[in-house]
Every structure is written in structure tokens, then in C-alpha cells.
């Protein structure tokens, strides 16, 4: 199946514009994240209690806040899921002493709602409780896991393609995808949860897979077209794999878009991360990873070795 017959787009000639846009977006995202509250963490990372409360009638957020504030100062209160379900999300940071039970804030909050907002009784509720020590450990392990994933794929691609630059380019592109996706998560006020970390790690693998497909085609072309410049070979390789990229990434994009739109509140952040990541990952393979290889080889004044003993990546 081919959507495009013999495409011949000059992708690499537009590199400077896309790289500049990426740098601006990453810098803006990092500045936004560095602000207090710029990057929001879920309960599993920040520690505390998260309550999902379902009321008998449509809830009044102001009245709920007035009821909860005396017992849980600074609690975050917002509507949850479909408004017709009459659900409210209440996030309470862990502020109690060492002797206080972790479940005490949830019990106090529910008791306060029962007394100060008795005209709209609570029908159902669920809670998620994480201690501050566990939350800090999870944050640290999530960062370590992401860094190790990038490191191991750098080593793998470097060995597979017979040169460190190929692995470095793929790693930089994957890191670019993570940073841009984090920026969008911060801009749109999504919390960093375990689901979001799972999506980010999935995107790292997905982006690397896209990059390997193009690099592998470039390696094959390098063996057959030794007189052509590396820039032309890589640009042609991108065009030759363009139909595959559109089909593979397009179908994945539609699937994760469905998760984002129809997966409910629990999967919304995961779906949003995947939607942004699929778009950014496709773009970075063409405009970040490939130009890095061309730029590096241009600095060295030579051509990239295709690695005669390497086998095809796919």
C-alpha cells in the first residue's frame, strides 16, 4: 500500500526552521516548568491523598471548598470526569505529623463534607493514599528509568550501526521528544502520574523505532550510492520510508486519539501524552535525528560508514 508514489520532498533543507522551533518550545517549556507549580505531580509522586467523591446532586465547588478548607487547608478541588456523574476530585497534600495515620486526612475531609455540606450527601467515594517518602522514591526511580532507557538505546544503536553518531542522534531525538511532551503536559496542566511515565517510556521506544527504520534504509543506500552526499542519501531514505511512516504512525495516532477522547478521566493524561508524543516523535526522526548525522559527518569532513558487518535493523 502506497499513499505517495515516489515522493521527493526536500526535508533537510527546512531543518533550521524546525530545529529553531523545537529549541524555542523546549526553552519555553523548561522556563514554565521551573516556576513554582509549573509541573504538577500526581499523588503517587508528590505524596498525599486523592479522593474521588460522587455526590447525590450536582456539586457546588465553592461550598465543597468551604467545607473542606478548615480540615484540609490548601486542598485542590475540581470537577472530575463527566459533569453528569456529579463527581469531584479532592487532592490533599501530606501535612500531618509522623504519628498521624495516612488515612486520617481522607476521613476528616469526608466527615467535614457530611456535616458542612449535608444538603448534598456523598453517595460513593474512592481514595488513593501515598506517603511522602514513597512519592519521593517513585519520582527518583522514574527519572532513573528514563535516563537508563535512553542510555541503553544509545549503546544498542551505536553497536548496531557501527558508529556512535547514529546512536547519539537517535538518543538526542528521543530526549527531544520527552522534553517537548513534558512542556505540553505543563502547558495544559496535566499531572505527572505513573500512567504518564509509562506513556513517555513508550514514546522513547516508538521514536527510536522510527529512527531505526530511516537509518537502516540510509545504511543500505550508503552501500550502493557511495558517490552521493550523505545529506542526499538520508533525505532520499526519509522519502523512501515516508509511506511506511504515514501508515504506521497514522494508525497509532488514531488509536491513541481515541484513548484521549473516549478513554475517560483515568486515561486522559495517558492519551494526551501519546497523542503529542506520536506527532513529536515522527517529526523528530526527520528533522532532529537525521540532520544531526549529516551535521556531525560534515564537521568531520567525511562520510558515515554503513557498517559492513551490521545486519538490517528490521
Cell of 30: 523548561
Fill in the DSSP letter of residue 312: P
Per-residue pLDDT at 272: 96
Helix (H, G, I), strand (E, B) or coil at 162: coil
Nearest Cα to Cα of residue 46 among 234, 194, 221, 259: 194
User: 64 or 141: whose pLDDT is higher?
Assistant: 64
CATH number of 48-130: 3.30.70.100
More confident residue, 62 or 149: 62
Three-class SS of residue 281? helix
Question: Cell triple for residue 48?
Answer: 498525599
Nearest to 9 by CA among 290, 245, 229, 237: 237
Closest CA to 213 of 251, 174, 255, 244: 244
Question: Which of 112, 12, 97, 96 has its CA nearest to residue 49?
Answer: 96
Mean pLDDT of 203-215: 87
pTM value is: 0.77
Residue whose C-alpha is closest to residue 216's, from 161, 164, 152: 161
User: What value does the mean pLDDT take over residues 56-79?
Assistant: 88
SS3 276: helix
Mean pLDDT is lowest, of 84-93, 116-125, 155-164, for: 155-164
Q: Would you place residue 237 in the very low, low, confident or very high pLDDT band (cuts 50, 70, 90)?
A: very high
pLDDT of residue 314: 31
pLDDT over 90 for what percent of the chain?
Answer: 36
pLDDT band (50, 70, 90) for residue 312: very low
| Nearest-angstrom CA–CA distance, 267 and 261 | 9
Q: Is the CATH code 2.40.128.640 the one for domain 12-40+134-300?
A: no
Residue 45: pLDDT over 90: no
Please state the domain extents for the chain: 12-40+134-300, 48-130
Residue 79: how many other CB atoms lie within 10 Å:
15
Question: Taking the CA of residue 57 as centre, how many other CA atoms within 13 Å lie in the half-sphere pointing to its CB?
Answer: 8
Q: How confident is the model at residue 94 (pLDDT cuts 50, 70, 90)?
A: low
Query: Rounded distance, CA 15 to CA 25, Å?
Result: 15
* pLDDT above 70 (res 135): no
2 CB burial (10 A radius; 0-12, 13-18, 19+): exposed
Residue 19's nearest CA partner among 231, 242, 180 is 180
Q: What is the pLDDT of residues 279-309, one digit of tens each?
A: 999 999 899 999 999 888 877 764 444 443 3
Q: What pLDDT band is residue 227 in, cutting at 50, 70 and 90?
A: confident
pLDDT band at 254 (very low <50, low <70, confident <90, very high): very high
221, 292 contact by CB (below 8 A): no
Residue 269 pLDDT more than 70? yes
Mean pLDDT lowest among 10-24, 74-88, 89-103, 278-292? 89-103
| pLDDT confidence bin for 156, thresholds 50/70/90 | confident
Name the nearest CA neighbour of 53 among 137, 138, 134, 111. Answer: 111
Mean pLDDT for all residues in the chain: 84
pLDDT tier for residue 111 given thresholds of 50, 70 and 90:
very high
- Report pLDDT for 95: 54
Residue 52 has pLDDT above 50, yes or no: yes
> What H or E segment, with its residue span, contains residue 88?
strand 87-93
Query: In terms of residues, how long is the chain?
Result: 314
Query: Higher pLDDT residue, 41 or 4?
Result: 41
Mean of the pLDDT values across residues 39-60?
85
In what helix (H) or strand (E) does residue 29 lie, and over which residues does it extend? helix 15-34
Amino acid at each position: 500500500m502506497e499513499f505517495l508514489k515516489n515522493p521527493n520532498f526536500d526535508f533537510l533543507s527546512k531543518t533550521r526552521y524546525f530545529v529553531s522551533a523545537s529549541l524555542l518550545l523546549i526553552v519555553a517549556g523548561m522556563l514554565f516548568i521551573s516556576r513554582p507549580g509549573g509541573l504538577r505531580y500526581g499523588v503517587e509522586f508528590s505524596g498525599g491523598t486523592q479522593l474521588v467523591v460522587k455526590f447525590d446532586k450536582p456539586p457546588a465547588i465553592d461550598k465543597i471548598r468551604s467545607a473542606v478548607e478548615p480540615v484540609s487547608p490548601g486542598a485542590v478541588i475540581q470537577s472530575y470526569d463527566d459533569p453528569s456523574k456529579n463527581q469531584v476530585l479532592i487532592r490533599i497534600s501530606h501535612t500531618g505529623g509522623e504519628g498521624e495515620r495516612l488515612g486520617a486526612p481522607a476521613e476528616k475531609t469526608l466527615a467535614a463534607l457530611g456535616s458542612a455540606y449535608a444538603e448534598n450527601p456523598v453517595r460513593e467515594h474512592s481514595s488513593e493514599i501515598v506517603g511522602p517518602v514513597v512519592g519521593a522514591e517513585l519520582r527518583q526511580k522514574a527519572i532513573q528509568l528514563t535516563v537508563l532507557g535512553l542510555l541503553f538505546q544509545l549503546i544498542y544503536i551505536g553497536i548496531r550501526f557501527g558508529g556512535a553518531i547514529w546512536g547519539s542522534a537517535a538518543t538526542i531525538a528521543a530526549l527531544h521528544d520527552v522534553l517537548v511532551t513534558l512542556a505540553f503536559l505543563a502547558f495544559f496542566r496535566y499531572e505527572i502520574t505513573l500512567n504518564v511515565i509509562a506513556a513517555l517510556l513508550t514514546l522513547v521506544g516508538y521514536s527510536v523505532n522510527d529512527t531505526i527504520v530511516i537509518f537502516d534504509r540510509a545504511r543500505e543506500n550508503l552501500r550502493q550510492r557511495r558517490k552521493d552526499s550523505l545529506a542526499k542519501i538520508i533525505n532520499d531514505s526519509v522519502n523512501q520510508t515516508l509511506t511506511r511512516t504515514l501508515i504506521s504512525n497514522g494508525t497509532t495516532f488514531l488509536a491513541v486519539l481515541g484513548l484521549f477522547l473516549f478513554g475517560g478521566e483515568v486515561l486522559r493524561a495517558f492519551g494526551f501524552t501519546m497523542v503529542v508524543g506520536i506527532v513529536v516523535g515522527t517529526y523528530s526522526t526527520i528533522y532532529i535525528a537525521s540532520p544531526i548525522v549529516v551535521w556531525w559527518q560534515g564537521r568531520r569532513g567525511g562520510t558515515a560508514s554503513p557498517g559492513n558487518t551490521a545486519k538490517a535493523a528490521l
